[in-house]
Amino acid sequence: MQANNDAEPILEVRDLQTHFFTERGVVKAVKGVSFSLANGQTLGIVGESGCGKSVTAHSIMQLIKSPPGEIVDGEIVFRRQKRRAETIDIVKLDPKGVEMRSIRGGEISMIFQEPMTSLNPLHTVGRQISEVVELHQSLSKKEALKVAIDMLDRVRIADPQERVKQYPHQLSGGMRQRVMIALALSCNPSILIADEPTTALDVTIQAQIIDLMEQLQEDFGSSIIIITHNLGVVSQMADYVAVMYFGRVVEYGTAVDIFRNPQHPYTVGLLQSIPVLGRRKDVLVPIEGIVPNAIADIPGCAFADRCPHVMEKCRQHLPPAKTVDGEHQVACWLHEPVGDSEMDVAAGAAH
Ligand SMILES: Nc1ncnc2c1ncn2[C@@H]1O[C@H](COP(=O)(O)OP(=O)(O)O)[C@@H](O)[C@H]1O
Ligand code: SF4
Ligand SMILES: [Mg+2]
């Protein structure tokens, strides 16, 4: 094993495939996704609804319900910072086993889009946070409650001593989202996955939550995966960006690559259709058409029906990923792969 852990990514997702075996057929929600997350950095995952972002996140957390869902192939290599950088393939762990439970919530934690679905309405906020702390840090009840109060303070909830005694329904939407963040950070996770953390909130609260996540990342040194269709949030937070379409990563690169030099027609379309900080709303141009149903079997490029540059071969053959520059990769026939050295990251080989 390499001694230089700083240079190694904390998380590497390799050719991940997650399917749902339904009565209507097999939904191939994630069709060979690869990306890596460097320690202390932020990866943004963007794409329209139904592109497989949440299923990717749930796969990393081993939260895919089986049946009908299953990770059918791939690796999720996690370099455990809390275990002397021991590497482990999450896919090989029993989702309900001790090891996975200690990773989930102890080393990798997740903020969900709708806080009410993951907060327990019957328990006080203080009890929920202190239970996590007790479990993962082996502290006494009293000490754990102190940590809970401190965490609420850190996410800038006023009167934390009083708030710990309250139930989720007594809090506003923005405050519940802060509690979720406090809950997710209370065990000082190495990786925080935030799945559309601000979608349900108004713009001012959204900005506050983003600021808060950035501040907490600085304080705790966590790595973050932020999933959102808000490109403004991504441009503000992310070091790297993966653009997903129809269960695949179609473009990957640094935030600068993606925002200044987008190469995939889908990325270009997204940038023109969704508000980015500083761009006027009246010049937005929506991408025509919709994401194909995930149950469809499409042999070629799944963006073909919506693409202004579509060519004959796009419909017949899946475009493999090509490295365009440095770490910047794109899976589109406008960028012909040359030779064997091309990475096969985004297209996911023969799948
Ligand atoms: N439990 C499930 N059963 C069947 N299909 C599912 C299930 N969960 C997600 N899917 C399908 O997987 C695809 C990807 O979903 P998702 O990852 O939630 O998209 P995103 O988060 O990008 O909006 C969608 O077509 C969705 O309908
Ligand atoms: S492969 Fe073809 S259809 Fe797909 S995005 Fe590129 S040019 Fe458009
Ligand atoms: Mg989602």
- Regarding the beta carbon of 245 and ligand 1, being less than 6 Å apart is answered no
What pLDDT shows up at residue 26?
95
Distance CA 116, CA 194 (A): 15
Distance CA 286, CA 100 (A): 41
Confidence of residue 186 (pLDDT cuts 50, 70, 90): confident
Cα of 320 vs its chain's centroid, Å = 23
pLDDT tens for each residue of 91-117: 999 999 999 998 987 899 998 877 667
pLDDT at 224 over 90: yes
Rg, C-alpha atoms of the chain: 21
Contact between 39 and 6 under an 8 Å Cβ cutoff? The reply is yes
Q: Which residues contact 347 (CB under 8 A, 6 or more apart)?
A: 32, 248, 318, 319, 320, 321, 331
Q: DSSP class of residue 344?
A: -
The H or E element containing residue 265 is helix 265-273
Q: Whose CA is nearest to atom 6 of ligand 2?
A: 332
Looking at per-residue confidence, does 285 or 88 come out higher?
88
Q: Please give the average per-residue pLDDT across 329-334, as a whole number.
A: 96
- pLDDT above 90 covers a percentage of the chain that reads 61
> How far is ligand 1, taken at its centre, from the CA of residue 291, in Å?
12
In ligand 2, which atom is closest to the CA atom of 308? Answer: 8
Ligand nearest to the CA of 195: 3
What pLDDT shows up at residue 339?
47
- Ranges assigned E (strand) in the chain: 9-22, 25-38, 42-46, 69-80, 86-89, 108-111, 191-195, 223-227, 240-245, 248-254, 321-325, 328-331
Lowest mean pLDDT: which of 29-33, 85-89, 134-138, 292-296?
134-138
HSE-CB of 53 using CA atoms within 13 angstroms: 26
Confidence of residue 4 (pLDDT cuts 50, 70, 90): very low
Residues in the chain: 351
- Regarding the beta carbon of 301 and ligand 2, being less than 6 Å apart is answered yes
- Regarding the beta carbon of 243 and ligand 1, being less than 6 Å apart is answered no
Q: Whose CA is nearest to atom 18 of ligand 1?
A: 54
pLDDT at 65 over 80: yes
DSSP output for 188-237: --SEEEEESTTTTS-HHHHHHHHHHHHHHHHHH--EEEEE-S-HHHHHHH
Bond preceding residue 308 cis, omega within 30 of 0? no
Q: Hey, which of 249, 324, 334 would you mutate to test ligand 2's pocket, going by the most ligand atoms within 8 Å of its Cβ?
A: 334
pLDDT tens for each residue of 266-291: 999 999 887 665 556 667 788 999 99
Confidence of residue 206 (pLDDT cuts 50, 70, 90): confident
- Regarding the beta carbon of 332 and ligand 2, being less than 6 Å apart is answered yes
pLDDT at 347 over 80: no
pLDDT at 305 over 90: yes
- Regarding the beta carbon of 216 and ligand 1, being less than 6 Å apart is answered no
Computed over every residue of the chain, the mean pLDDT equals 87
Q: Please give the average per-residue pLDDT across 298-312, as a whole number.
A: 96
Tokens of 72: 């059918």
Distance CA 267, CA 296 (A): 22
Count the neighbouring beta carbons within 10 Å of the beta carbon of residue 47. Answer: 25
> How far is ligand 3, taken at its centre, from the CA of residue 26, in Å?
19
pLDDT at 147 over 70: yes
Contact between 265 and 308 under an 8 Å Cβ cutoff? The reply is yes
pLDDT tens for each residue of 38-53: 999 999 999 999 999 9
pTM, two decimal places: 0.90
In ligand 1, which atom is closest to the CA atom of 57? Answer: 17
Q: Please give the average per-residue pLDDT across 228-252, as a whole number.
A: 93
Q: Please give the average per-residue pLDDT across 121-143, as a whole number.
A: 89
What pLDDT shows up at residue 351?
38
